[in-house]
A = this chain, B = another copy of it.
Amino acid sequence: MGHNHRGRAAAAGVAVTVERAAWLRAAASALEHAAGELVPLAARETRLPELPRLHAELDRTAFQLRLFGHTLTDGEFLCATVDHADPHWEMGARPDLRRMVVPIGPVLVFAAGNFPFALSVAGHDTAAALAAGCPVVVKAHPGHPELSVRTGEILVDALTWAGAPPNIVAVICETEAGVAALRHEEIAAASFTGSVAGGRALFDIAAARPRPIPFYGELGSLNPVLVTPGAVRARGPEIAAGYVSSFTLGAGQFCTKPGLLLLPEGHGLTGTLRAAVAATHGQPMLDDRIAEGYHATLAGLRDDPATEVISAPDAVADTVEPTLLRVTADEFVAAAPQLRTECFGPSSLIVEYTDTTSIHRVLAALEPALTATIHAEDTEYDTIRPLLPTLTRLAGRLVWNGWPTGITLTWAQQHGGPYPATTTTSMGPAAIDRVLRPVAWQEFPDALLPPALRDANPWDLLRRIDGKR
């Protein structure tokens, strides 16, 4: 691609996607090269273990930047659509009309506390915005301030050397600065990962602006898991072990933690579950504020007259041991508003159902979630099928015979669900769509069109031409 093409693309307000892919690859490599500095810094600020967790998360973050780069070189995300003029068009002669997406404008990213790399300064939402061609302002999470500043320096250095405009990424640190940025008229969209209360407060600010902007919040999610009688009979102990492993992973500080397990009455797994919990090790939580929030929410759940403790630590300590509670389906439905609150930490609630009607009543009492998981046998499809419409309405990802924690990154990934799981968001390559907006060009001269829409298709994109792909 010659210099002239680049110049014209910039002039049309559409940055050159192939170059942006190179920026993202440069950022990924810079993070990997800085692992020796960044991982110990992250461990000190977040109390998360360096191995395997923080090294794996840094690798994931680099992969994520490159995956968005791949999305760019593919170019389908542009939705390039060309309709030639047609004097015989059914609703009357039509002009030449061409459409594609352009960057929405500067994006404000509120970094998450629980993923100091993957959902922070150089994380998912930053990668998506840079891929789309949007400048980014990151509001650092207070849980890892030094890491945030240092990651920002490394990111800006890498992007600048790769040819990105200076100041395409900025990091700000104070809460007040974040709120001021959210109100700033130049900010065109914002994203957030955190609690329902914090996310809703920011959503309300975004919606109340003189010019409202989209706010992509990932808030709270119970991530229910349904286990059928057949699955209990076939592999009850294995399911119990997987469940305890999943809800205690990372001290339960994952948005996809299974917070609710639906088991058939008389499942006979209580002893197995108690033993599995007892075999876990206490883990430190990210910071004191999060630990305090966890203990307060958990106390509310434990004090609810409907719940019974299966396993819980004797006392509050520096490292937190898991808590497992139990309730019957009828009790859960009666008490749902209190019991369906996400408890961010290593606790989960078992709900014991009697029959399919009982399952339906529990699902109807739940709020939407990021994920819904089913453990069932191949002989039980006819039992499961009637539940699928409800589960599809309830969650953004349905998992079969697995666990919701451990989110792979692929083209088909989707991380989001109806409110309060998220406001209107998705994670994975499709998240680039959140920070793009469509524009149509009518009867434009070829030389003034963005390259992606010119007759010669100089970028060799997948395009829809006169309705045909």
Contact = CB atoms under 8 A, between A and B. Distances in A.
Interface string A206-225: 01100111100000000000
A13 interface: yes
A447 B400 CA distance: 12
A419 B99 contact: no
Q: How many copies of this chain?
A: 2
A443 B396 contact: no
Contacts of A214: 424
Interface stretch (A284-292, A304-312, A403-411): A403-411
A268 interface: no
A414 B388 contact: no
Contact of A399 (B399, B442, B467): B442
A59 B402 contact: no
A313 interface: no
Interface in A75-117: 76, 79, 81-83, 89-92, 94-95, 97-99, 102, 105
Contacts of A167: none
A14 B212 CA distance: 32
A59 B89 CA distance: 13
A2 interface: no
B411 A83 contact: yes
A385 B450 CA distance: 11
A246 to B, nearest CB: 13
Contacts of A437: 396, 416, 418, 424
A63 B82 contact: no
A81 B402 contact: no
A361 interface: no
B408 A91 contact: yes
Contacts of A89: 408, 410
Contact of A442 (B97, B402, B441, B467): B402
Given A400-B442, A442-B398, A420 B211 contact: yes
A389 B11 contact: yes
Given A412-B81, A437-B418, A91 B207 contact: no
Nearest to A393: B13
Contacts of A419: 211-213
Given A91-B408, A91-B409, A396 B11 contact: no
A243 B464 CA distance: 32
Contact of A91 (B63, B91, B212, B412): B63
Interface string A381-392: 100111011001
Contacts of A389: 10-13
Nearest to A66: B90
A399 to B, nearest CB: 4
A413 B440 contact: yes
A186 to B, nearest CB: 11
A467 B70 contact: yes
A395 to B, nearest CB: 7
Contacts of A12: 388-389, 392
B444 A416 contact: no
A445 B400 contact: yes
Interface in A432-469: 437-445, 447-448, 462, 464, 466-467, 469
6 contacts: A11-B388, A74-B467, A79-B430, A99-B413, A211-B420, A385-B448
Given A14-B392, A91-B408, 10 more contacts: A59-B91, A83-B411, A92-B408, A97-B410, A381-B448, A397-B442, A400-B448, A410-B467, A412-B464, A424-B437
